[in-house]
Structure 1
């Protein structure tokens, strides 16, 4: 649930910053004549807290936010989702794939622009927090906005071959793996600040309902895996505490709780809004778009978690998405417990000297899981080995597809596991024309 800040000056600060950012987002040059007044406004912990809350809104809410556009782009491109209405032109492009996806696609532009808006405003909060006298509260702010900065850097690195990791005019592009490493560097900075000055409990009441340190370690493990730093991925995954309790309200302390983005009637779950319209996308089929040996076992309880059959009026029942889009207030996890187990399984299997025994142990934790805090339970019998590395990696990929359905990760997984291009609608995305028009360093678009 989003926090409410009632001081007028705080709303002014947020409004000025939002207007300045939106006005030039495609240039990633966020300076404007109101810069001085914004800097003054962001000199207090209350104003910084309000802007930090706005950053979460940019990331999680609305069709322009990062979450919806990442889920849609990955879902269509990886065959997780089917299009319901060909009149939705951006979705139609992604559903068709190939050269039909072009630089005018508004889903791609919204994901790109919102990601960089989050990165830019996070940088401003981090800089402002550095000047605060209360270093514990400052560490909380830095850790909190770094979650969204890292998620946004990770998102653009998942969909584009090369990415900018700095804000300004004519910024250079780097390899997408360096984008993941930039996310890791931001996380390392935040963790160092928190280690030096622990976050006070009051911060959880005022700003955050996330377990910040746990979430940062989980994201570091994710992006270390995506950048093929397997020992680091394993080490960070081992630092993540698997959550066993959920906060009961927005102000509950979260030291031992799960981290999830929560919603209310005014700030609703955008995925539920899209699914409820039944006019944009739904799951491809009950097998989540998987075929052959990758298709889920019919007894896998995760199918019933992520999908449901629902009739409308006198129309026959159709397959719809459930899971983390079930209601307007259904939380969306920052990470799933099963993701951490699967990161360990993959990291063990991909080490220079593969540890296939421990890899299978971690994989079986996911397959046999019945007590997931978010309800993502396969509830099946453990796999009996031994398996070769190739066989084990295929099973890890299959379970990532099921466990992390419609999370925005599948396209990245398809590349990392060497899936054939015939299984994808497109591998990498073209750069939004707004970026190309304003930055001469924009690379050529990928062929596929």
Structure 2
């Protein structure tokens, strides 16, 4: 039997660890454990272990994509404030502008870990395609594609140009092509699952419906690439009031919990979650006490709560509200804006009293009339609140044409390790 539960309890059996990240940014990822990994790729049990390792690499600790994307977006978009200037990478991002340079380890870890995930996911996908049990193979392919797509989407959110392949001296493409590469990977996985439905022997992930999650990520990246009809259809394909999350336990802890409980790195900028006064949340918005609380002694200060309150608390990959807000935005950004139906979708988030993750504004509905521009601003506001500290805010700020004064930096410099090892590395952006 090949049954495997891919969750935090079993995550320690993965063959990949954050420590295996190479010191340079060459994307061939040669390391001393390579022979063991290659051997594991030859069996379904070994492939399952590598798949679990991919989740571990993506999600755990200070080197994981989760922490570094939340920190980089949070500081750059003014969601987060720095508590200790001795944290130099965070200080750079909090200061912004030219203070952010190619030595920043938050950016390096996000870059290197993303490509580690992409590289190992590609190996699992190629090896799974050779398995005799095609239903088990499609489960593996779908599962690791989630992390491959997330990694492609993350680097495309922070850098103007990105590689979408691994190897030596690889070429760069536009960030739009990076998002489209994530969509292409998702399409390939969905096609594999359609041809051979996921086997019952692949017990899957308790916190994640694989097919549902693939559709949700496709909706996200279709929105980011301006493919609004596709974004709308994919968001509609996601089951109502569902999300997906990364699960943790005491051995593999929620990194946000350790950061927030130390009260020594960052906390929310303010009770408005860093939004300008013109877009301040309604004082009765119940998402504010969900995501923040006054805590601590002898003097209480504003702390992040939400998905950072317990060592074993899950962190969402996507929330139900994100899919609804994608629908609202996609309807409004069509060639002929559908203001009426966009407002209906937005009000589903505004008036929501509960959801599967406990994120609910519970406010009266917004009442028009709104121009398309006015309603877009409301969508941006509610994305900023609903999806607080999700790593998506900086991408939203660009898409909604927010003033440069509201952000610390728009695009990131390329890590010097990449530039030293890849002659194709573009010039750093000015801001």
TM-score band by shorter chain is: over 0.9
Gaps of 5+ in 1: 245-257
CA distance in 2, matches of 1:44, 1:366: 45
After superposing the two structures, state which structure 1 stretch, 31-40 or 394-403, moved more: 31-40
TM-superposition CA deviations, 1:70-110 (whole Å, max 9, x none): 00000000100000000000000000000000000000000
Contact 1:93 1:100 in 2 (8 A): yes
Tell me the equivalent position of 1:252: none
State the TM-score, normalized to the length of structure 2: 0.95
Contact 1:73 1:107 in 2 (8 A): yes
TM-superposition CA deviations, 1:208-242 (whole Å, max 9, x none): 64200000000000000011111110110010002
Tell me the equivalent position of 2:159: 160
Q: Tell whether 2:367 aligns with 1:369.
A: no
Tell me the equivalent position of 1:251: none
Contact 2:47 2:128 in 1 (8 A): yes
Picking from 278, 281, 304, the partner of 1:296 is: 281
Q: Tell whether 2:77 aligns with 1:78.
A: yes
Q: Tell whether 2:354 aligns with 1:356.
A: no
5 Å-filtered alignment, 1:38-437, equals 38-204=37-203, 209-243=207-241, 258-312=243-297, 315-437=298-420
Tell me the equivalent position of 1:253: none
Deviation at residue 387 of structure 1 after TM alignment: 0.8
Deviation at residue 330 of structure 1 after TM alignment: 1.3
Pair 1:33–1:296, CA change in 2 (3 A): closer
Could you say what secondary structure the match of 1:79 adopts? coil
Tell me how large the CA RMSD over aligned residues is.
Answer: 1.7
CA distance in 2, matches of 1:86, 1:47: 44
Q: Tell whether 2:8 aligns with 1:2.
A: yes
Pair 1:353–1:139, CA change in 2 (3 A): same
Contact 1:261 1:333 in 2 (8 A): yes
CA distance in 2, matches of 1:111, 1:25: 13
Contact 2:37 2:50 in 1 (8 A): no
CA distance in 1, matches of 2:10, 2:221: 32
CA distance in 1, matches of 2:110, 2:159: 11
CA distance in 2, matches of 1:303, 1:137: 42
Deviation at residue 66 of structure 1 after TM alignment: 0.2
State the TM-score, normalized to the length of structure 1: 0.92
Contact 1:140 1:194 in 2 (8 A): yes
Query: What is the aligned length?
Result: 425
Could you say what secondary structure the match of 2:361 adopts? coil
CA distance in 2, matches of 1:385, 1:196: 46
CA distance in 1, matches of 2:352, 2:116: 38
CA distance in 2, matches of 1:92, 1:35: 36
Gaps of 5+ in 2: 1-6
Contact 2:104 2:415 in 1 (8 A): yes
CA distance in 1, matches of 2:84, 2:225: 36
